[in-house]
Structure 1
Amino acid sequence: MKLVGIVGSVAEQSYNKLLMRFIAEHFSNLVDVEVLDITDVPMFNQSNDQSNSPTIQYLNRKIMAADGVIIATPEHNHTIPAALKSVIEWLSCNLHPFADKPVMIVGASYHNQGSSRAQLNLRQILESPGVNAITMPGNEFLLANVKEAFNDEGNLKDERTVEFLRTTLTKFLDFVQVINKLNGRADNPGAAEDMWSTGKCDTTIDGVDMKAEDWVEQAAAKVNAVAGKTYVKLDRGILTVDQLNWFLNSMPIELTYADENNQFIYYNRMGEDPKAMLAPRRPGQVGDPLADVHPTRALKGAANVVNQLRTGKTDLVKMSVPGNGPTRHWMHYYKAMHDEAGNYRGINEWVVDLWPIVKYYLETTGQKLIPDPDNQVSAVTGASSAGPVITTVPGPSAAKVDDTSGASATEQPAEVVAPKVPAVDSTSGASES
């Protein structure tokens, strides 16, 4: 289970930050808690909408992808701090990531009441129209006299307090499961994904119908996109747009780019007959939301893949395609892309047939494939079976010497076991599981 923690204070030295860090570290065996930073969130101003700014979108995505939220609030004049109020304002105006999201409130204060009035204030805000969070009832955690509560290592001193916090957190985890099951999100992290691309990111091109067959041409005109012999400075090179197209279209793999808003915005091999592609694409699909480039049966699996990459549960998803056989082994790879600051910026998908590579390797090393009698995994489908697993063993010509280096090409036997993976839709490459 994945939770995010929000601390209502932007002070450098904050006991509520200390409390949230303690929860994340001390109870890491119970749950994964990622503490979000709200320091750079601007003061809410509806006349200067910054909903699509990287700072606000970062919080929006993290909260949407999480199973639940823990908020630690100080008490300022009987209410929550202005910084926390501003965060919730941004996330309840045009964006609504808290909607139906389970939330647990904790708080620490210098005095005996342990931020009780601020917690009551926060509960009222979270349950208001536009926010619509589902706040855990009862089991309030109010840490009083906070200056004496922590030791020099940042740990709570009192074991009874730690145990009560553990009990409260455990109940919240049960609460999260119940609420997410009622909302249809249990065991389906992809439910948090907007596969119809109804939101925006800072690279979204406004004013063009995503589903237009000529989206590329319309979008290019809208932003005055460069083309032809115009030079583009890259991280480590300068190429014209023509050179970029030649370079990408000549890749021996099929490439697809889906942005952070789940919009399909690029694929290479523009001149390729879709029927001849491993993952068929056609020009008119570019610009569509991901929901429209996957069959309905594959959409749930595709959303789960996207969510795993967006939330950092994994950085790479690998899937073999059903129907692989002795002369083909098609693979789909989905790699999360990030900007210089580490923010998620979309997915690089590439599709490749591994068999020509394996075949060349066998021919040049003099090895062959034989069944593995101890096999537990199908080499073709990746599913557990009694079928053969690919094992390489030296063949008759394995002692052949490389003409260039003079080194022997003889190699030790290497076992290659296909991992168990979800079934993949043969058209889109999205998992159906």
Structure 2
Amino acid sequence: MKLVGIVGSNAEQSYNRLLLQYIQKQFSNQFDLELIEIKDVPLFNQSDDQTNTPIIQSINRKIKQADGVIIATPEHNHTIPASLKSVLEWLSFKIHPLENKPVMIIGASYYDQGSSRAQLHLRQILDAPGVHALVMPGNEFLLGKVRDAFDDENNLKDEKTIEFLGSVLDKFIRFIEVVSALEGPKTPVMEPEDLYCNSSIETTIDGVDKGADDWVEQASEKVNAVEGQTYVKLNRGVLTVDQINYFLSSMPMEITYADDNNQFLYYNYTKEDKEMLASRHPSQVGNPLAYCHPEKALKGVNWVIQQLRSGAQDCVRVHVPTHGPDKFVVHNYQAIHDDAGNYAGINEYILDFKPIVDWYLQQTGQTLTPGTDAVSGASESTSHSESENDAVSSASVTE
């Protein structure tokens, strides 16, 4: 289970951050907790819209992708800090990632009250129109006299406090499961994807037939694309075009890139299509994604792209067992974002990770447990994403 914890203070030293870090460490066997810092978020000002800045879009995306949110708030003048209130304003102005999201409130303070009044105000804020979070009722965790609560290893000292914190977190996990059952699968409400690339985006190379077998050659000539030993400055490196090709070709997986206009622009060509885990042919590069799939698969393609475009999921994974028992093949559809946090397309990477598993088992002396799905450990029932199957590549798709 994936949770995010919002540090409700912009201070360099914060006991509420310490509390979340303790939860992250102590309860890692129950869930994965990622901490979100708010100290660099600008003050809310509706006349200076910062919604699309990388920091706010990053918080937006992480909350959307999480199963639940834990907010740790201090108490300043009987209420929550101004910095936390400002963040919540941004998250309810033009974006609404907390809507119908399970939220648990905790807090630490120097005195006996343990941020009780701040927590009460925070509940009211989270229930407001535009926020509309699903706050777990009751079960307040109020850590008072926090200066004496942690030992030198930053662990809580009092066993009863630890036990109570564990019980509250257990209830929150069950609360998330109940909410998830009531809400059903995450289905973005969006316009259907234009899988035929009828429109253009800033990086579209116009004037070249997207279905042409020699699209790469025509498009390269059209834009005077560099090649060979021409240097390219990357965000953390300088490589020649040849070096970039060598680097991508050395990846122990099949990589495909489709842009946010749903145009298939690249794959790391290292072997012929019939030898690949997901068949691709050089003549397909440049095609709209609709050309890369049978008609019956387009519904699944649309579903996967909208999961990624909307932020409902950051990565959709599909286990493909048709390659035989000697392979553990997973298709991964990873959302790509630009520097401003905007959706920029899909990185599909496909690999047989059985050699990695075999190597790891040999190194550690461990074995796979018989009778379970060797890849995921899950039951053999088909997930939604599995039923949609291969959504971006040209591999066959059945429904």
TM-score range, shorter chain: 0.5 to 0.7
Q: Distance in 2 between matches of 1:4 and 1:293?
A: 37
User: When the two structures are aligned, how many residues end up with a matched partner?
Assistant: 340
Asked if the contact 2:192/2:302 (under 8 Å) is kept, the reply is no
Q: 1:215: which partner in 2?
A: 200
Match of 2:159 in 1: 159
- Please state how far the C-alpha of 1:220 moved relative to its aligned partner: 5.3
8 Å Cα contact 1:111/1:144 also seen in 2? yes
Matched ranges for 1:125-136 at <5 A: 125-136=125-136
Amino acid aligned to 2:36:
L
CA contact (8 A) 1:258 1:347 kept: yes
Q: Name the residue aligned to 1:87.
A: 87
Name the Cα RMSD after superposition: 5.3
* Cα distance in 2, alignment partners of residues 75 and 162 from structure 1: 21
Q: Which moved more, 1:212-221 or 1:151-160?
A: 212-221
Q: Secondary structure at the match of 2:223?
A: coil
CA-CA distance at 1:64 after TM superposition? 0.5
Matches within 5 A, 1:194-343: 212-215=197-200, 219=204, 227-229=223-225, 232-234=232-234, 235-239=237-241, 256-258=256-258, 264-268=262-266, 278=279, 283=286, 285=288, 295-297=298-300, 310=314, 319-320=319-320, 322=322, 333-334=331-332, 336=334
Matched, 1:349 2:345: no
Query: The residue matched to 2:92 in structure 1 has which SS?
Result: helix
Spell out, residue by residue over 1:223-255, the C-alpha distance to the aligned partner (whole angstroms, 9 max, x if none).
Answer: xx9921567545443459xx999x999x9x985
| TM-score of the two chains, using structure 1 as the length reference | 0.61
Per-residue CA distance 1:124-155 (angstroms, 9 max, x = gap): 11111111100000011111111111111111
1:320 and 1:178 map into 2 onto residues whose CA distance is: 30
Corresponding residue number in structure 1 for 2:34: 34
CA-to-aligned-CA distance 1:88-119 (integer Å, 9 cap, x gap): 11111111110100000000111111111110
Match of 1:49?
A: 49
Distance in 2 separating the partners of 1:134 and 1:116 = 19
Distance 1:89 1:66 in 2: 20
Q: Deviations over 1:295-320 (max 9, x none)?
A: 32466677789989837xx9xx5754
- The alignment partner of 2:175 has SS state of helix
Aligned residues of 1:233 and 1:239 also touching (Cα < 8 A): no
TM-score, with structure 2 as normaliser: 0.66
Given that residues 278 and 352 in structure 1 are in contact (C-alpha distance below 8 angstroms), is that contact kept between their aligned partners in structure 2? no
* Greater mean deviation of Cα atoms: 39-48 or 73-82: 39-48
Task: Letter of the 2:223 partner, please give it.
Answer: A
Alpha-carbon distance between aligned partners in 1 of 2:289 and 2:102, rounded to the nearest angstrom: 36
Q: Structure 1 residue 33: deviation in Å?
A: 1.3
Query: SS of the residue aligned with 1:83?
Result: helix
Q: What whole-Å deviation, never above 9, does each CA across 1:345-383 have from its counterpart, x for those lacking one?
A: 764325799xxxxxxxxxxxxxxxxxxxxx999xxxxxx
Consecutive unaligned residues of structure 1, counting only runs of 5 or more, are 186-190, 199-208, 354-374, 378-383, 386-420
Structure 1 332/266 Cα, relative in aligned 2: closer, same or farther at 3 Å? farther
Q: Is the 8 A contact 2:297 2:398 kept in 1?
A: no
Q: Does 1:112 align with 2:112?
A: yes
**Residue in 1 that maps onto 2:212:** none
Cα 1:9–1:71 change in 2 (3 A) is: same
The one-letter amino acid of 2:79's match is: T
Once residues 65 and 336 of structure 2 are traced to their aligned partners in structure 1, the CA distance between those partners, rounded to angstroms, is 17
- Provide the rounded CA distance (Å) in 2 between the counterparts of 1:339 and 1:297: 22
Give the gaps of 5 or more residues in structure 2: 207-219, 268-272, 353-369, 373-378
Structure-2 separation of matches of 1:194 and 1:10? 34
Q: Which residue of 1 aligns with 2:22?
A: 22
* Greater RCO, CA 8 A, separation 6+: 2
The question of whether the paired residues in 2 share the 8 Å contact of 1:6 and 1:37 is answered with: yes
Q: State the structure with more CA Rg.
A: 1
Are residues 108 and 140 of structure 1, via their aligned partners in 2, closer, same or farther at CA, if it must alter by over 3 Å?
Answer: same
The AA in structure 2 aligned to 1:237 is L
Show the counterpart of 2:59. Answer: 59
Contact residue 257 and residue 266 of structure 2 kept, 8 A: no
Structure 2 Cα separation of the partners of residues 33 and 155 of structure 1 = 17
Secondary structure of the 2:107 match is: strand
Provide closer, same or farther for how the CA distance between residues 97 and 352 of structure 1 changes in structure 2, counting only shifts above 3 A: closer
Please state whether the residue corresponding to 2:171 is helix, strand or coil.
helix
Q: Distance in 2 between matches of 1:218 and 1:304?
A: 23
2: CA distance, partners of 1:141 / 1:84: 18
**8 Å CA contact retained: 1:2, 1:68:** yes
Percent identity between the two aligned chains: 45
1:143-172: CA deviations, max 9, x gaps?
A: 111111111111111111111111111111
